[in-house]
Amino acid sequence: MKRVVISGVGAVSPLGGDVPSLVGGIEEGKSAVRYMEGWDRYVGLRSLVAAPAELKNEKAIPRKSRRSMGRMSVFAVQATEQALADAEVGREVLSSDRIGCIIGSTMGSAESLCEAFETMLPERDLSKLTAMKFFQCVSHTAAMNVAQYLGITGYVMATSAACASSLQAIGAGYDLVRMGKQDLVLCGGSEELHPTVTASFDILFATSTGYNDDPQRTPRPFDAERDGLVVGEGCGMVVLEEYERALERGAKTYGEIIGYHTGGSGDHVTQSNRESIVRCIGAALSSAGISAAEVDYINAHGTATRHGDEVEAQAIREVFGDAVPVSSLKGYFGHTLGASGALELIASLAMMEKGVIYPTLNLETVDEGCKGIRHVMRPLRSEIGVLMKNCFAFGGINAALVCRRLER
């Protein structure tokens, strides 16, 4: 099997339109969560907070390409262009069938889906829909639009597994490169914010509802006063590249992917399952050929739901005990769903580079059910040689990725 490195990163997040804004906002302890004006007109919506990203400079994308893009696809194009520039990969090489694109999301553009139904349903008049609206709504809209915009002819795939989507995308790209099927793959996830997206969690009593008047105090991963997740939006993209190829062209590398696993719980459609998470983490460690003692940092899924945080903490405790520092980044920019794995991995790679672990924002008192692991509650200076990124999605879909600081 070939070695796989991360040679470029790009991000659009609630903290800003690039990677420095993402990392800098976390370093400064910023929260991008705010009260959403106008959401109170949705009858029955209890959670009125979210973490929006700013949509800007979208007209830099030519209209011919942009007309099939919803908000999430614009984010994806922008983050991908950043990642390519960071990796110093020119567009002229992207037409090779040895270069692919895998972008995950929960669904297509939520705003476009709502617009389509609101336009069509009153009179059931399909003639009112534009020809391009369909392409904004399809579940593979981000992957499709990025690939078309960049002229990519290699593997084009879309992983759709809710909160595990972008980590699955990166895992799939890792497999393609290490098996020699692609030399370079653009991987990540994109998501967009809409009140109906928050509502889908609100209906399940999974959202934060008690901090509408104090939005920056939520979400609160692992905290005794947590009351649910807060939805965010954006896109995270990474360039995965075969090691020798990256070395030959003198590319900067952020880390080497050495292990990955994804698997289902087969247990419950909404409730996390400790045993299946333990299996997933164990399989990722096994594929990396390392022991739990060799992991220096765990970037938790940590959504701030009552059940999810407790089960994840139990699973981490069972595998790692209290030896490994653990933090969640969702207190800074909410749960970006299909983009969360990629955005949080990018921030974790920055920690690896800087030798510092960013704390879980809003974690003040560790909940009794989340004790027994080493929570990071203030910035921690620590060398990170190996990190693990976790993502656990509705439907019992678990994913874990292991990266190490590059060893030549």
Helix axes of 340-354 and 165-178: crossing angle, nearest 10 degrees: 70
163 in active site: yes
Contacts for 233 with CB less than 8 Å, ≥ 6 apart:
14, 51, 52, 53, 71, 72, 75, 191, 192, 193, 336, 339
* SS3 label, residue 239: strand
335 in active site: yes
Backbone angles phi, psi at 143, to 5 degrees: -65, -45
Angle at CA of residue 163, ends 157 and 169, nearest 5°: 25
* SS3 label, residue 394: coil
Catalytic residue among 140, 194, 261, 301: 301
* Residue written as token pair 């008049």: 125
Q: How many CB atoms lie within 10 A of CB 238?
A: 31
Joined together, the tokens standing for residue 232 give: 């965010």
Catalytic residue among 140, 194, 261, 335: 335
Answer whether 114's CB lies under 8 Å from 42's CB: no
Catalytic residue among 101, 137, 163, 391: 163
* Residue written as token pair 């952020």: 254
Distance (Å, whole) CA 286 – CA 280: 10
Question: What value does the CA radius of gyration of the chain take, rounded to a whole number of Å?
Answer: 20
Helices (H), 151-211: 165-178, 195-202
What region, left, alpha or beta, does residue 56 occupy, with left being phi > 0 and alpha being psi -120 to 50 degrees?
beta
Residues marked as catalytic = 163, 301, 335
